[in-house]
Structure formats: C-alpha cells, structure tokens
C-alpha cells in the first residue's frame, strides 16, 4: 500500500524532502504559499528555490491546504520556523486525528521562546508529533547526495516506521525517542554558525572557530537538558553532525551571513541587504528569552544577539567573550 505524504512548505528544504519521499516510493503532494511557486513546479518541473533540480513528474504542488492534507498518512511540516504557528493554524482543521506531523524546520519562536513542538501543541495538544533533523543541505539532498538524519518521536514505533517509509539508497534516517534535543540543536546550531562565520570573516583563525564550535555544543547541551532533552543526543547527527556542517560551509546561509558581518565589521548593512531567511538571526533573540527564564548561561548566543541587534562592535564582543570568568570545562 502506497503511503501518501503531504509536504507543507515548498522552500528548498521542503522541496528536497518531497523529492526524497517520492524516491522512497511514496505518493507526495507539496503545499506552497505562492501561486507562482505552484505554477513553476507543476508546469515547468522547476523551482527557483532549487534552480539546478529537475522535479519528478509525479510531484504535485498546490496552494490549497485542504487539497494538500485530505487523506494523507504523514505530514512533513517544513515552513520556516517563524511562520510555523500561522501555517499550522491553517493546517489544523484539515489534519485527521492520529496523522503524524513531522517537524522539519529549525528554530525557536521569536515572540514566545517556544520550541516548535510546543508551538504545535499549544494549538492542538492531541497532535501526533515527530521531528526530522540533522546535517543536510537541500541542494545536496535534491542531487541524491548521501545524507543521514535523525527522526525522533516519543513513540519509538512511530520513529522507526517513519525511518522505514522515508529511507532511500541515499537518504538514511536514524530513529530516536528524544524529540527535545534535535529541536534545540537544530535551532541553536544556526546561531553558532553565525558566530563561526563572523570569526572567519574577521580572520580570527582556525583556533577561534574550533573553540566557538566546541563551546557552542556545550551551550546546546545545557539548554537541551534544561528542557528535558538528553545530553548524549547532542553527540549525534542532529547535534554535532548538524553543527559541523552548518558552521563550516559557505553553503550555509547562517555561516555566510556571519562571514559577511565579520568582513563588514558590524551587522546592520549585511542584514539590510539580506533577502533570504537566516533562521539564526531570529533564534539569537528568541533563545535568550527562554534561557533567561531557565537561568541557563548562553554566552555565545548572547554575543551574537548583541552584534546583530545592538550594533556591538565585533572586536569588543569577542573581547568580552574571552574575558569571562574562568571555569572548568564541565561547569554548567
């Protein structure tokens, strides 16, 4: 029996997941916000979000949410994090009870500091949830480059079933029952990638980047554990794997944005001309709101937030970071 999957969100990542789900032998419908995107996909088998990809003939796109979600078995929810609430409110009336919703975006809601599972549950507490996260550039996934991710759900059987349904000869999911840590790491790695890019843009050297990435992992672990996640999950694909990819490559929007900020010396001119979604920008602010409530120390996130939102000079920010009181490596 063919599994019918709806992918909500026709950006680069959502489209790459839709292609992968089709190649795994499923029936797929792709929901997009813009009529232009739907027309482009259905008529020319192309999308401006993945210009080099030729989309399969079997991929059908629509702007009609009811049409997209009717009689589907699984929903892959891939709209950008800051739009998750508004889009899920549109989705909710058409989701059949018991249909799994797989969170595929990475971020923390700016207004509330909620992680995305909390956003969805605040709208419909009965939603059956899973999370898909890990190191994956959409353009490479669309080219069938080998990719491994984590699929997590509190229901172990659901996580394993989703892995089976979505696996291909180039896409390998690993199951987990820890839904919290992949969400935290998926969001915070974008902030750490901005910090890494700033460091490289300023020519601070490989030592500095390695230190930022390693201490960034410590922040991610502290935050995840305080929200009920497992520290050991940070060493997996959705933690170390995703951070290593995002914080070391100019393919990453977050790293590239940080790199430009580092070269410019401050953030304002870079952000003013930026036309793409850079999730780490919003996350840098939203994570500090939640961290304050949890009394979790997030020094790297704090520095990135000060650079982005308060025009703090980069040299001053880095000096402040290095001059913090000395601690043991395991503190916190």
What does the DSSP assignment read for 119-169? HHHHH-TT-EEEEEESS--HHHHHTT--EEEEEE-SSHHHHHHHHHHH--S
Tell me the C-alpha distance between 176 and 164, whole Å.
13
Could you confirm whether 189 is annotated as catalytic?
A: yes
- Structure tokens that stand for 308 in this block: 């982005």
DSSP secondary structure letter of residue 295: T
Catalytic residue (one of 4, 189, 276, 289): 189
- Distance between CA 157 and CA 155 in Å, rounded? 5
Q: Which residues contact 145 (CB under 8 A, 6 or more apart)?
A: 170
Q: Is 9 in contact with 31 (CB distance < 8 Å)?
A: yes
Structure tokens at 261: 């900020």
Task: List the structure tokens of 169.
Answer: 């000869």
Phi-psi region for residue 152, left (φ > 0), alpha (ψ -120 to 50) or beta? beta
CB neighbours of residue 315 within 10 Å: 11
| Active site positions, annotated | 189
């Amino acid at each position: 029996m063919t599994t019918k999957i709806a992918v909500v969100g026709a950006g680069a990542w959502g489209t790459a997941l839709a292609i992968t789900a089709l190649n795994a032998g499923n029936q797929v419908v792709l929901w997009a916000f813009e009529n232009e995107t739907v027309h482009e996909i259905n008529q020319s088998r192309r999308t401006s979000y993945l210009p080099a990809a030729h989309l399969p003939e079997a991929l059908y796109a629509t702007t009609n949410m009811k049409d997209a979600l009717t009689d589907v078995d699984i929903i892959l929810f891939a709209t950008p994090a800051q739009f998750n609430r508004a889009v899920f409110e549109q989705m909710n009336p058409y989701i059949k009870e018991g249909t799994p919703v797989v969170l595929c975006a990475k971020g923390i809601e700016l207004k509330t500091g909620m992680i995305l599972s909390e956003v969805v549950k605040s709208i419909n507490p009965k939603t059956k949830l899973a999370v898909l996260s890990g190191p994956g550039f959409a353009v490479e996934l669309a080219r069938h480059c080998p990719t491994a991710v984590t699929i997590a759900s509190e229901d172990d059987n659901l996580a394993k079933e989703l892995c089976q349904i979505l696996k291909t000869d180039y896409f390998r999911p690993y199951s987990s029952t820890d839904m919290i840590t992949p969400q935290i790491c998926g969001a915070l790695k974008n902030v750490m990638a901005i910090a890494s890019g700033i460091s490289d843009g300023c020519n601070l050297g490989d030592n500095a980047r390695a230190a930022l990435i390693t201490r960034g992992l410590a922040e991610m672990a502290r935050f995840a554990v305080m929200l009920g996640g497992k520290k050991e999950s940070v060493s997996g694909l959705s933690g170390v794997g995703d951070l290593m990819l995002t914080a070391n490559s100019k393919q990453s929007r977050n790293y590239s944005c940080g790199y430009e900020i580092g070269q410019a010396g401050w953030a304002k001119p870079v952000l003013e001309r930026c036309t793409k979604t850079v999730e780490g920008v919003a996350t840098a602010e939203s994570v500090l709101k939640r961290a304050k409530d949890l009394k979790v120390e997030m020094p790297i996130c704090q520095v990135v937030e000060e650079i982005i939102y308060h025009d703090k000079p980069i040299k001053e920010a880095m000096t402040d970071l290095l001059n913090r009181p000395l601690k043991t490596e395991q503190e916190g």
